[in-house]
Amino acid sequence: MPLDIVPSVCPHDCPSACALEVERIEGNRIGRIHGAATQTYTAGIVCAKVARYAERQHHPDRLSQPLRRIGEKGVGRSAFVPVSWDAALDEVAEQLTRAAQRHGSEAVWPYYYSGTMGLVQRDGINRLRHAMRYSREDLTICSMLSGTGWVAGVGARRGVDGREIAKADLIVVWGGNPVSTQVNVMTHVTTARRARGAKLVVVDPYRTASAEAADLHLAPLPGTDGALACAVMHVLFKEGYADREYMTRYADDPEGLEAHLATRDPAWAAAITGLDEGEIVDFARLYGRTKRSYIRVGYGFSRSRNGSLQLFAVTCLPTVTGAWQYEGGGALQSNHGLVPLDHTLLEGLDVLDPATRILDQSRIGPILTGDRRDLGDGPPVSALFIQNTNPMVVAPESGLVRQGFARDDLFVCVHEQFMTETAAMADIVLPATTFLEHDDFYTAGAHTYLQLSRAVLPPHPECRSNHEVVSGLARRLGARHPGFALSPIELIDRTLRASGLPGVEDFPADGWLDCCPPFEIGHFLDGFGHADGKFHFRADWTALGGHNRLPAFPDHVAVTDDGDPERPFRLVAAPSRSFLNTSFNNTPSGIAREGRPTALVHPAALAGLGIADGGRVRIGNRLGSVVVHARAFDGLQRKVVIVEGVWPNHAFEEGIGINLLTSADPGLPRGGAVFHDTSVWLSPA
């Protein structure tokens, strides 16, 4: 059987953006996918989900024809009939035009997210949006809260190269579970442990697989990490671990911070976090005496109303100890801002009208059901064109989302690889290529490579790429922009050159360009990203686009949903190992490994409720309730409940999933979905 190995890049919504080596069989199928050994962040390792990508790529349920719905919404494939591509695109264009004629162009909402992280196939929808003056989209659902918190202190959207984890003596994984969600972090942790005897600390509300692998696990209550960080800094100042010389040179107000922290001692934090004073002090001393300490912050922060403030507090730690100045020291949230790419051609920024309305993607439920806080004086959304996301499952307040999609007066087109629960609500469904079937290029959150990837396989029958569909609609709608007439490779080439980077012909043959800055810049020794070159202990939240309801200094702010006697539990809807949002929740091996929707509940809490291990539990709040099976688990505080996912709605007994319970309230200071910030009650089901 002829087999060749073809390079590619993982497109999924994961910081690692792994460089891949794909086994291609007879030119039209794939076997296993491996990590590229010579790309030094991937270092030969990929997660099991993508290693088994053949399951997804050649899944019998791949969409392979454009479809028009003739039956009820939500039923699935049997409610649709095949149509030609021309008929489907004509109808979509006609419906978008009709919506714009009736209510104005802002009645159309092109809606997307990160089902692919490829810049051509993900962001081209914005070119269509801007050319047509359709409603804009505020991309809040994942990293808004953590990104805002990071920039508040550091002032730039980059951190220390993730490969330096291997050079650290202490790695703190804070608010993430890389064993399940970003395996490459563990590759470099393992190197540091073997080579240097490095210690691993994990801060997470429950004993994840990463916490099990750690030397120390701290499990604060959800939404209290800022209090922990403040108490650690209190100890660092008090016990002489603070690098005052470094702070004098590189920070805005170390004296003000020290005075502010005087009352934020371990006893104060213990009362808020539920941790022992002793473990807070032990952690602070370990961090304080280890110069090469690397904090890898995860996306857990980005799921809480106070997430920005909490993450900001954590970024202050390496500034207090001066860890930023050492190889293997500092912190990383994301490196997506490292490469200053010119997005004009990709996104049509030259035709963007800044007066057009911006709608918060996390609030799609309230928006589709007519919430005037979102719509303002503008028209209701009456047409959606969706690529790369599955809001019927992943967006908060699923009840409202479902109600919105059920509207008779809403036209929906979904361009997808599978009949997702969002696609099942659409009027027109278009079959989409996977990353193995189109060209694209990628930045990364975790590393410093810019990577280019060409199609490995011909498209699955009748599937078209996002770029082809956007360009096909543009032609029909009369949208004008030179980007629609270019191929993906031409878009990549022109974007690279406009950004001062080598074009496609000059790009490294292996497909990855390391954009790692020199040590001085990477470690902010030439100054942090703010105009004064300092790390800011005093955050200016207003300058970050938010209203100023957060304090300037790092602190704990109890704006979270802390519950009441009726809702005494804190629910965290955490990611599972086998699913990535909803991208892999239909592959047989992933479903087999994850089992069924399950709540991890402390054994004492379970006993108090009279529920047996493995019994059914109803979880609820003012938004509704869902039934799952309970598993007794002692790796969390008694009031914390974990449901990993994201499982499809149909996997739940009553046909609606965990996001029925999560709130669409925007996190502070300028939005963000708050998936881990939910108080609930539990009862036997």
Interface ranges with ligand SF4 (CB under 6 A): 10, 12, 14, 16-18, 46-47, 49-50, 182-183, 580
Which of 12, 481 has the CB closer to ligand SF4? 12
Q: How far is CA 553 from CA 82, 229, 238, in A?
A: 58, 12, 18
Which of 56, 303 has the CB closer to ligand SF4? 56
Which of 46, 230 has the CB closer to ligand SF4? 46
Which of 180, 304 has the CB closer to ligand SF4? 180
CB of 170 to ligand SF4, least distance (A): 23
Residues contacting residue 256 through CB under 8 Å, at least 6 positions apart:
537, 538, 553
The DSSP secondary-structure symbol of 597 reads: -
Residues contacting residue 56 through CB under 8 Å, at least 6 positions apart:
434, 583, 584, 586, 587
CB of 18 to ligand SF4, least distance (A): 3
Residues contacting residue 129 through CB under 8 Å, at least 6 positions apart:
110, 135, 136, 137, 348
Which of 117, 673 has the CB closer to ligand SF4? 117
CB of 341 to ligand SF4, least distance (A): 19
CB of 146 to ligand SF4, least distance (A): 17
Which of 178, 318 has the CB closer to ligand SF4? 178
Which of 50, 346 has the CB closer to ligand SF4? 50
Q: How far is CA 246 from CA 70, 219, 530, 534, in A?
A: 67, 31, 17, 11
Nearest to 327 by CA among 196, 230, 213, 157: 196
Helix segments in 104-182, DSSP class H: 119-132, 144-154, 178-181
CB of 47 to ligand SF4, least distance (A): 3
| Pair 414, 388: CB distance under 8 Å | no
The DSSP secondary-structure symbol of 666 reads: P
CB of 83 to ligand SF4, least distance (A): 34
CB of 48 to ligand SF4, least distance (A): 8
β-sheet bridge partners, residue 643: 599
Which of 452, 539 has the CB closer to ligand SF4? 452
Asked whether the CA dihedral 237, 240, 242, 248 is positive or negative, the reply is positive
| Pair 633, 600: CB distance under 8 Å | yes
What span, in angstroms and rounded, lies between the C-alpha atoms of 45 and 187?
Answer: 8
CB of 30 to ligand SF4, least distance (A): 14
What span, in angstroms and rounded, lies between the C-alpha atoms of 87 and 90?
Answer: 5
CB of 56 to ligand SF4, least distance (A): 11
Which of 183, 346 has the CB closer to ligand SF4? 183
CB of 622 to ligand SF4, least distance (A): 35
Instruction: Tally the residues of the chain.
Output: 685
Q: Return the C-alpha torsion angle 620, 623, 624, 625, nearest 10.
A: -30
What span, in angstroms and rounded, lies between the C-alpha atoms of 308 and 314?
Answer: 10
CB of 19 to ligand SF4, least distance (A): 9
Which of 287, 441 has the CB closer to ligand SF4? 441
Which of 17, 30 has the CB closer to ligand SF4? 17
What span, in angstroms and rounded, lies between the C-alpha atoms of 283 and 174?
Answer: 13
* 383-387/411-416 β-pairing: parallel
